[in-house]
Amino acid sequence: MRISVKLAPTFAYPELEQFWRSADQLGFEAIWNYDHFYGLVDNATPTLEGWTTLAAMGAVIRRARVGCMVTGVTYRNPAILAKMAVTVDHITGGRLDFGIGAGWHEDEHRAFGIEFPSPGTRVAMLDEALTVIRRLWTEESVSFAGRFYTLSDALCEPKPVQRPHPPIVVGGSQPKMLRVIARHADEWNMPSHEGPAEWGHVNVRLNEACAEVGRPPSEVRRGAQLFLHPRKPGQVDEQLELLPHYAELGCEHAVLSFYQPPTSALLERCVAL
Q: Collapsing DSSP states into helix, strand and coil, what is residue 254?
A: strand
What distance in Å separates the CA atoms of residue 262 and residue 267, rounded to the nearest whole number? 6
Residue 180's pLDDT is what?
Answer: 98
**Mean residue pLDDT across the chain:** 97
What distance in Å separates the CA atoms of residue 133 and residue 237, rounded to the nearest whole number? 39
Q: Which residues span the domain enclosing 128?
A: 2-271
What CATH number did the domain enclosing 194 receive? Answer: 3.20.20.30
Of the pLDDT bands very low, low, confident and very high (cuts 50, 70, 90), residue 41 is confident
pTM score, whole prediction: 0.96
| DSSP category for residue 2 | E
pLDDT per residue as tens digits for the range 120-155: 999 999 999 999 999 999 999 999 999 999 999 999
Backbone region of residue 170 per phi and psi (left: phi > 0; alpha: psi in -120 to 50; beta: other values): beta
Separation in Å, CA 26 to CA 31, 78, 97: 11, 34, 19
Residue 65's pLDDT is what?
Answer: 98
**CA neighbours within 13 Å on the CB side: how many for 246?**
27
What is the percent of the chain where pLDDT is above 70? 100
Mean of the pLDDT values across residues 198-204?
98
Amino acid letter, residue 62: R
Give yes or no for residue 40 having a pLDDT over 90: no
Domain count for the chain, please give it: 1
72's enclosing H/E stretch is: strand 71-72
29 forms beta bridges with: none
What distance in Å separates the CA atoms of residue 10 and residue 202, rounded to the nearest whole number? 30
